[in-house]
């Protein structure tokens, strides 16, 4: 079987991180099986759909590396196809026009509610053998309803939820076209899933209730029903359904907050799927391991700390050249002139190990791009004890003649330590202070490499002269 999956978002507003999981899993399933992954934009709700939301979806998927084999396919461009299928269904007796007005429908509902019955369409206009239909009213445009099977049930073996059976008596005759002829949501999904030969529908479990209706229409059209996998919701860290209202962030927000795409992808992958106890894995491993059997059955919970931790892991192991490229825009935003001063790649390489985000790296690089500090005399007295000044003066001399390498700087420091019989902090802290007016820096020999010997000597000389 040639596996074909799809992500079918409705571009009707905010798409949070959790929503993208419905793109990630079908993408991974298609890649694992060397199948095809399709993006279908369900934009028939004209009032709520926007091009901006479409752009955000496409951009977020591209950033995460969820590449497409087909699409984006816009439902609005397939309206003729839906109309064609509706026409065929009317001709084949699979659907029928229903002239019941809104008011009549509401009245019917009210009566059903009073009688404690489930509100549903009563089949008044449904043609049956030997049944006389009411006279067609003047001036009313009908909706088109699907002739749902009567009796029996719809059953499917959900890849996440197991066997689900819904009695057909629970389902009334679904409206598939509105009075103006526009097709309705559930109907378009069916036509598309059939036309696009989708083999596996992997989507949020908020669609479980649509599935029996969709299966019935598919069967009526003679189609083969796909395998369904309904993913449990993603909860936020407070255990509520993730939504913009309670602070959920979009993929773009995470990008702006200095997260790496591979960290987000890894994080999302684990939000409802697992492979043993693997926590950090590459995209290739994810594709290799992904299966529907290992999808979680209970809601996944968003864990911002874990995401931060993963981002840290990826930053630590990332190549400094790439990280520097990615960090530059953040540094520029902080007013750092990365072109003027030490080599930015080296600085990033030095600072990345302690950072959780690219913003934190950018913040840390500041140290090397600020002008040489203006030390206050009383601060100098506090941070550079009189007793250490001779050692600093000797250090300056040795540095002047030493090679500009980390090893050579380290040897110079050791020479002074032996000469003066002192411990590393006694020397390194005053040096740090002299260089940056701060005692928080990475290893001093590495710092010297990045700052440069001449600049270091200049700064040191200022405080001991």
Contact residues toward ligand GLU (CB under 6 A) are: 8-10, 42, 189, 203, 207
C-alpha–C-alpha distance, residues 88 and 82, integer Å:
10
H or E, element range at 140: none
Q: Of the residues 87, 244, 397, 414, which is catalytic?
A: 244
Nearest approach in angstroms of CB 20 to ligand GLU is 12
Among 2, 3, 8, 5, which Cα is nearest to 72's? Answer: 8
H-type alpha helices, 196-319: 211-220, 251-256, 261-269, 283-289, 304-316
Cα-based angle 364, 405, 360 (whole degrees, multiple of 5): 10
Q: In terms of CB distance, is 177 or 196 closer to ligand GLU?
A: 196
Nearest approach in angstroms of CB 42 to ligand GLU is 4
Q: In terms of CB distance, is 143 or 189 closer to ligand GLU?
A: 189
Residues 6+ apart with CB under 8 A from 60: 15, 20, 250, 251, 252
Residue nearest to ligand GLU (CB): 203
* β-sheet bridge partners, residue 235: 241, 301
Q: In terms of CB distance, is 41 or 416 closer to ligand GLU?
A: 41
Residues 6+ apart with CB under 8 A from 303: 237
Asked about 244 being catalytic, the answer comes back as yes
In this structure, the dihedral spanned by the alpha carbons of residues 176, 182, 188 and 190, taken in order and rounded to 10 degrees, is: 30
Nearest approach in angstroms of CB 433 to ligand GLU is 57
Nearest approach in angstroms of CB 3 to ligand GLU is 16
Q: In terms of CB distance, is 226 or 349 closer to ligand GLU?
A: 226
DSSP reduced 3-state for 155: strand
Q: In terms of CB distance, is 25 or 273 closer to ligand GLU?
A: 25
Nearest approach in angstroms of CB 207 to ligand GLU is 5
C-alpha–C-alpha distance, residues 292 and 33, integer Å:
12
Q: Mind telling me the catalytic residues?
A: 244
């Amino acid at each position: 079987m040639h596996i074909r999956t799809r992500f079918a978002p409705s571009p009707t507003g905010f798409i949070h991180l959790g929503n993208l999981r419905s793109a990630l899993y079908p993408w991974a399933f298609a890649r694992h099986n060397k199948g095809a992954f399709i993006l279908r934009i369900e934009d028939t709700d004209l009032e709520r759909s926007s091009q901006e939301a479409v752009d955000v979806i496409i951009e977020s998927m591209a950033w995460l590396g969820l590449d497409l084999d087909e699409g984006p396919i816009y439902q609005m461009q397939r309206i003729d196809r839906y109309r064609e299928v509706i026409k065929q269904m009317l001709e084949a007796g699979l659907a029928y026009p229903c002239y019941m007005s809104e008011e009549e429908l509401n009245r019917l509902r009210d009566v059903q509610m009073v009688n404690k019955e489930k509100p549903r369409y009563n089949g008044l206009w449904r043609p049956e053998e030997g049944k006389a239909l009411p006279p067609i009213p003047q001036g009313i445009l009908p909706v088109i309803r699907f002739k749902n099977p009567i009796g029996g049930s719809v059953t499917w073996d959900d890849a996440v939820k197991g066997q689900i059976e819904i009695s057909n008596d629970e389902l009334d005759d679904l409206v598939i076209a509105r009075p103006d002829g526009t097709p309705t949501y559930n109907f378009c999904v069916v036509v598309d899933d059939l036309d696009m030969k989708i083999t596996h529908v992997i989507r949020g479990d908020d669609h479980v209730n649509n599935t029996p209706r969709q299966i019935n229409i598919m069967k009526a059209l003679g189609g083969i029903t796909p395998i369904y996998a309904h993913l449990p919701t993603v909860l936020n860290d407070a255990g509520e359904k993730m939504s913009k209202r309670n602070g959920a962030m979009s993929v773009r927000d995470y990008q702006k907050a200095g997260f790496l795409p591979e960290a987000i992808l890894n994080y999302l992958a684990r939000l409802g799927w697992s492979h043993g106890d693997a926590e950090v894995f590459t995209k290739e491993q994810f594709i290799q391991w992904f299966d529907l059997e290992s999808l979680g059955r209970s809601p996944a919970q968003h864990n911002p700390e874990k995401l931060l931790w993963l981002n840290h892991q990826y930053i630590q192991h990332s190549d400094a050249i790439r990280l520097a490229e990615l960090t530059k825009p953040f540094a520029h935003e902080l007013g750092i002139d990365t072109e003027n001063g030490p080599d930015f790649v080296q600085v990033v390489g030095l600072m990345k190990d302690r950072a959780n985000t690219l913003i934190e790296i950018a913040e840390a690089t500041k140290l090397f791009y600020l002008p040489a500090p203006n030390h206050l005399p009383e601060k100098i007295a506090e941070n550079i004890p009189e007793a250490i000044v001779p050692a600093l003066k000797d250090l300056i001399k040795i540095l002047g003649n030493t090679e500009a390498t980390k090893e050579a700087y380290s040897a110079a420091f050791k020479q002074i330590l032996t000469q003066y019989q002192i411990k590393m902090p006694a020397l390194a802290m005053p040096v740090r202070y002299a260089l940056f007016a701060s005692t928080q820096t990475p290893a001093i020999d590495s710092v010297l490499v990045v700052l440069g010997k001449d600049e270091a000597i200049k700064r040191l000389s200022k405080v001991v002269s």
